C-alpha cells in the first residue's frame, strides 16, 4: 500500500516532469510560437507547478518570471538565442551534450557506463527517432521523465526504493557529472533571461529529484492541482 510520503513524492515528481518536458523541448528544438503561448502567455512559468527551497530553483523561478516581458519580441529573441547557443561551430556555443564537457564521456572507456547502455537496459530504443545523440541533455531529460513515470506507477515499497536508487544513479552519473559546466556557459553566453532560467531550472530539478529520492526531504510541494 502506498504511504503518504510516497504519494507526496509521486505528486512532486509529476510537477517536475511537467517542467522537464518544457525545458527539454526548449533545448532540443528551435522555439515555435506555441512555446511563448503555452509557457509564458498562459502563465505556467509565473505559477510553477512545484515550489522548492533549493536556492538554484528559486533563482530559476525568478529568471523565468522576469523573462519574455515583451511577448511580441520574445519568440524572435528565443530563436536567436537558441541558434547562437546550440550552434556547434559558434564562438558562444553551449552545446547541451555530455561528450562536449570535461572529458566525461569516452567511447572506449569500459569502466564508465555509457548512457546508451542505461537506455537499453530499460528497453528504451525508440529514442533514435529524435535523430539526436544519446548524450544530448534533452534526450537524457526525456529518459528521466520516463524513469519518474515508472517510479510513480510502482505500488510495492521495496520496488519503489530500488527504482529510486536507479533514478539517482542515472542523475548522478549522466547529468550532474557535467551539467554544472554547461550551466556556467549558459549563464555567460545566453542573451535572454529565458534560456538562463531554463538552464538553471534543469540543474535545480535534477538536484531536487536526486535529494527527494534519497530521503533528504527537499522542501518541495505542489502549488496547483494536476489535471489529467
Q: Is residue 227 part of a domain?
A: no
pLDDT category at 215 given cuts 50, 70, 90 is low
pLDDT category at 91 given cuts 50, 70, 90 is low
Q: Is residue 8 part of a domain?
A: yes
Segment 45-66 mean pLDDT:
90
Rounded to 5°, angle at Cα 164 from 161 and 167: 155
Segment 206-211 mean pLDDT:
94
Residue 204, pLDDT > 50, answer: yes
CATH number of domain containing 48: 1.10.3480.10
Residue identified by cell 505542489 is 222
Q: Is residue 91 part of a domain?
A: yes
The number of distinct structural domains making up the chain is 1
Beta carbons within 10 angstroms of residue 9's beta carbon: 22
Q: In sequence order, which residues have a C-beta less than 8 Å from that of residue 17 and are 6 or more positions away?
A: 145, 148, 149
pLDDT for 107:
43
pTM reported for the whole predicted model: 0.89
Rounded CA-CA distance 166/159 in Å is 11
Q: Is residue 228 part of a domain?
A: no
Distance in angstroms between the alpha carbons of the first and the last residue of the chain? 22
By residue range, what is the domain housing residue 136? 4-222
Q: Is residue 11 part of a domain?
A: yes
Residue 20, pLDDT > 90, answer: yes
Rounded CA-CA distance 152/163 in Å is 10
36 versus 94: the higher-pLDDT residue is 94
**CA neighbor of 66 nearest in space, from 83, 85, 50, 46:** 46
pLDDT category at 197 given cuts 50, 70, 90 is very high
Amino acid at each position: 500500500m502506498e504511504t503518504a510520503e510516497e504519494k507526496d513524492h509521486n505528486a512532486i515528481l509529476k510537477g517536475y516532469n511537467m517542467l522537464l518536458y518544457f525545458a527539454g523541448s526548449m533545448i532540443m528544438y528551435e522555439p515555435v510560437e506555441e512555446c511563448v503561448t503555452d509557457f509564458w502567455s498562459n502563465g505556467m512559468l509565473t505559477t510553477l507547478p512545484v515550489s522548492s527551497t533549493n536556492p538554484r530553483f528559486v533563482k530559476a523561478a525568478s529568471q523565468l518570471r522576469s523573462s519574455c516581458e515583451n511577448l511580441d519580441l520574445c519568440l524572435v529573441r528565443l530563436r536567436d538565442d537558441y541558434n547562437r547557443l546550440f550552434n556547434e561551430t559558434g564562438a558562444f556555443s553551449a552545446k547541451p551534450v555530455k561528450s562536449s564537457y570535461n572529458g566525461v564521456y569516452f567511447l572506449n572507456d569500459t569502466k564508465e557506463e555509457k548512457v546508451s547502455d542505461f537506455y537499453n537496459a530499460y528497453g528504451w530504443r525508440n529514442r533514435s527517432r529524435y535523430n539526436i545523440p544519446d548524450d544530448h541533455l534533452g534526450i537524457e531529460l526525456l529518459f528521466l521523465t520516463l524513469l519518474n513515470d515508472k517510479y510513480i506507477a510502482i505500488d510495492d515499497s521495496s520496488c519503489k526504493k530500488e527504482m529510486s536508487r536507479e533514478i539517482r544513479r542515472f542523475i548522478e552519473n549522466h547529468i550532474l557529472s557535467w551539467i554544472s559546466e554547461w550551466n556556467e556557459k549558459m549563464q555567460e553566453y545566453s542573451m535572454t533571461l529565458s534560456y538562463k532560467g531554463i538552464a538553471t531550472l534543469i540543474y535545480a530539478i535534477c538536484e531536487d529529484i536526486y535529494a527527494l529520492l534519497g530521503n533528504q526531504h527537499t522542501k518541495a510541494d505542489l502549488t496547483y492541482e494536476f489535471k489529467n
